[in-house]
Chain A
Amino acid sequence: MNSVIFLTIVLLALSSYFFGRKKAILIQSNKRLTALPKFYGYYLAIWCGAPAFLLYALWSIFEPSIVRFFILSDYSSQGLLEGELNLFYEKVKSLSRNQYSGELTAELQRSAEKYLNFRDIAKWSKVVIVLSLLIASTGYAYTKISNNTKTREPVEIFLKGVFFLSSLAAILTTIGIIFSLLFQTIEFFQVIPLFDFVFGMHWYPAKAFVRDASEALDPSMYSDTFGAVPIFAGTFFIALIAMCVAIPIGLLSGIYMAEYASKRLRQYAKPVIEILAGIPTVVYGFFAALTVGPFLKDLGLSLGLEVSAESALAAGGVMGIMIIPFISSLSDDVITSVPQNLRDGSYAMGATKSETIKRVIIPAALPGIVGSILLGVSRAIGETMIVVMASGLAANLTLNPLESTSTITAQIVVILIGDQQFGDPKTQAAFALGLSLFIVTLVLNIVALSVVKKYREKYE
């Protein structure tokens, strides 16, 4: 039904374009127009489609809650709890779809009938009202069209409005992220004290088994369950291992590319290294779990070390490989943009190339390099699949790279894979972890971007 209304609106709007243009062409035969005939077409099409579509969208959004209000208004005097009303309403809905298999009461039956009735009324009144608005607005615009109607300006203002709304998509996404994370997190902290989460030393979300809905929430049940310190430590530890791989290789190859490499080597090696950035992370995860993990384990055995097959070293090392291209190309850019006269000055003093790089260029490019490293760190912290597949899922608090640890991202996946139950502290814990991840990466990015920006301004 909804798609039929939608298609009707679109089709009518399209055809009114032709009506509008035709009328304009007719007028044109004896009078001068103020705009091209097609603008009259657009003008009419917008008047036809936009108000009807807006009403249709608003109606579709608000209809369910209005119907719900009318159905439940019969029971509002009985002093039922919000949860009981919700449950009742769900029962009514499933009964109206003939999918109800519970106990039938007269109340339920009456409400289901009423519900179906309301839905019917709502459906048909929606069709009638939307279509009559469409006809009214089109008619109004059609009669208004004359030789000196301003049509181009309104059409362009309308388009500009659409453009503006599109640019709000980014803000809406940010608001959506913050809303979804914050909402669940606040509920989480009503059960688990913030202090326990941030400073607790034990993370066993599996202990927080799914609770029966009727059971009262007992916070003491969750003591020693959601202490995030091992998770935060594991995240930074694995990121540290990754940076130990990525910084030397990325930075040195970036320097070599910028200062030493011949044009040919640059032309071929640079895109090839950047392939590393384009490989999906799940592929790295598979590589780390299948090849690197067992390899390190065997290597450890031959050296007499006990290495977990899911060691932090395997996950961090492979993550480091993934980050190499980010650091190498960013630092390459930064070094290339150091002004030539700094180099010339240094050579003129008799310095060798490497001395120039180490004593002049790197200090000059340092803010940019730091920025690129920070961006790399932010990537390492937010990386999910490698850790999920190659590192452990149990949160150990350890500083031994040969043991397994877990990260924020891996725990979010572990908790939320499969069916989730909203309103459960375990699910909310994942959102709380997500919020901490969002805040950490946001801060890192803002700092990194502002450092790089300042640096660019210095030399441009």
Chain B
Amino acid sequence: MNKEERLIKRYKAEKRFRFYGKAAIFMALLFLVVFLTKIFSTGYTAFQKTWLVIPVNYNADLLYLDPDKKPTTEDINDADFYEFGIETFITLDPDASEDQIMELKKMFAFTFERELKYYLLDNPDSFGKTVDVKLTASDDLDQVFKGNYPRDIPENRRRASDYQLKIFDKLNEDGRVISEFNASFFTNADSREAELAGIASSFMGSLFSILVCLSIAFPVALLAAVYLEEFAPKNRFTDFIEVNINNLAAVPSIVFGLLGLGVLLAVFGLPRSTPLVGGITLSLMTLPTIIIAARASLKAVPPSIREAALAMGASRMQTTMHHTVPLALPGTLSGTIIGLAQALGETAPLILIGMVAFVNTIPGTPMDPAASLPVQIYIWAESAERGFVEKVSACIMVLLFFLIFMNLGAQLIRHKFEKKWN
């Protein structure tokens, strides 16, 4: 091999190496893109809800009400809307057999009773008339309409039967299947039925946990950072505290869950499954993150500021509280937000302290049992029904939205309020 050839070989190696580097970055970005497209493409349909608009005859006889008198609210509340609903569904196919009637009923969410009742309560004038009423479609038909269920597989492997599909297609031809923005996804609590399940309960659970976490972790971490940066004597004990903080930052989150279970629940007897315990557990986890961020921004305040204040006769405490801490606050706050964003996405410790319970009420205080957004993702992802897959993706989209929002907020605070010292 002569010199020329060797040189060519070396340059080729150079090019190859550079290509590997580019390929690695490309791969990492590709993963992100694939990942986000997958989530968005499966999730966006959850923001649409399928309704079936069917003609309903609010006939007095069917409701066992007096036809001559206008019914009061109480009368309507007492009336039996289950039988009435069944009778209404039969009008879709008057020749339906017993089994087919049950299938007709299953085309609708089980809340049809309530929906029929509330329509009459809101529109008392429709009593005795035939009107079009919007009813929530069952999640099987919802999925069929959104194209998430293949229709061409054999009937016994399908959730929606041929008969249901026939009626559904007839309704669709008449323009009686409509798709609207799914507001109930944001206002409903969790439910076993995919078409009714919403994120309101887990959202409130997350909100309460984060608030508890913030109100504990932020003050404690800020004060600890101030102590370590401004007052702590240089001795072994201080070093020990520092080592502790650095190690805690790297402890797996599930260990904090064990701490919550073994100490907060078992020893202190705090109530299980509540955002209070979840928030305390998360605050212990975010504490080191915030302390490290706060110390970094305290360190960044130049000593000249402190010396100037001391020279003017301020005490150490006054120098710290009036000058150093306010100047370090933007950096601390942005570190806090980043820590809270981590806590918001955390799942494992919350599972261990029991925040995976099925909660179909919206919690009003941090002492009520609740789930949280990431735990909701876990619960729905473990559920077998196809209707929950899009819900999981939609819930992930909501969670990612908040995380991006918080991280942008942290960036903004840092850029806008932090003083640059040069």
A interface, CB within 8 angstroms of B: 152, 156, 159-160, 162-164, 166-171, 173-174, 176-177, 179-181, 183-184, 248-253, 255-257, 260-261, 269, 272-273, 275-276, 278-283, 285-287, 289-291, 321, 324-325, 328, 352-355, 357-358, 375, 378-379, 381-385, 388-389, 409, 412-413, 416-418, 420, 422, 430-431, 434, 437-438, 441-442, 445-446, 449
Contacts and interface: CB of A to CB of B under 8 A. Distances in A.
Contacts of B317: 156, 159-160
B258 A156 contact: no
B392 interface: yes
Given A179-B263, A283-B400, A352-B14, A272 B38 contact: no
Contacts of B288: 170
A276 B223 contact: no
Interface in B306-332: 315-317
Interface in B1-57: 10-11, 13-14, 16-18, 20-25, 27-29, 31-32, 35, 38-39, 42
Given A282-B377, A290-B381, A354-B13, A431 B25 contact: no
Given A173-B287, A248-B24, A287 B38 contact: yes
Contacts of B231: 160, 163-164
Contacts of A273: 25, 28-29, 32
29 contacts: A160-B227, A162-B223, A163-B231, A170-B287, A184-B262, A252-B24, A255-B21, A256-B21, A256-B24, A273-B28, A273-B32, A276-B28, A279-B345, A280-B345, A280-B374, A280-B377, A282-B377, A283-B345, A286-B377, A321-B35, A324-B28, A354-B13, A381-B252, A389-B381, A413-B254, A416-B261, A417-B351, A438-B252, A449-B246
A385 B251 contact: no
B220 interface: yes
Interface of B: 10-11, 13-14, 16-18, 20-25, 27-29, 31-32, 35, 38-39, 42, 219-221, 223-224, 226-228, 231-232, 240-241, 244-248, 250-259, 261-263, 266-267, 284, 287-288, 291, 315-317, 341, 344-348, 351-352, 356, 374-375, 377-378, 381-382, 389, 392-393, 396, 399-400, 403, 407
A419 B415 CA distance: 47
Contact of B244 (A174, A381, A388): A174
Contact of A382 (B252, B284, B375): B252
Contacts of B42: 290
A285 B263 contact: no
A174 B247 contact: yes
Given A170-B244, A180-B259, A413-B254, A282 B345 contact: yes
A177 B224 contact: no
A325 B28 CA distance: 9
Given A180-B258, A353-B18, A418-B356, 16 more contacts: A163-B227, A269-B29, A279-B345, A290-B392, A321-B35, A325-B28, A328-B28, A352-B10, A355-B13, A382-B251, A382-B255, A389-B381, A416-B352, A434-B255, A437-B254, A441-B251
Nearest to B262: A180
B197 to A, nearest CB: 16
Nearest to B22: A256
A388 B39 CA distance: 19
Contacts of B266: 180, 422
B121 to A, nearest CB: 38
Contact of B258 (A291, A358, A430): A430
Given A170-B287, A272-B32, A446-B247, A176 B259 contact: yes
B250 A378 contact: yes
A170 B254 contact: no
Those 5 A-B pairs whose CB atoms lie nearest each other, nearest first? A382-B252, A256-B21, A180-B262, A280-B345, A252-B24
A252 B256 CA distance: 34
Contacts of A169: 220-221, 224, 287
Contacts of A160: 227, 231, 317
A280 B347 contact: yes
Contacts of A388: 348, 378
Contacts of B389: 290
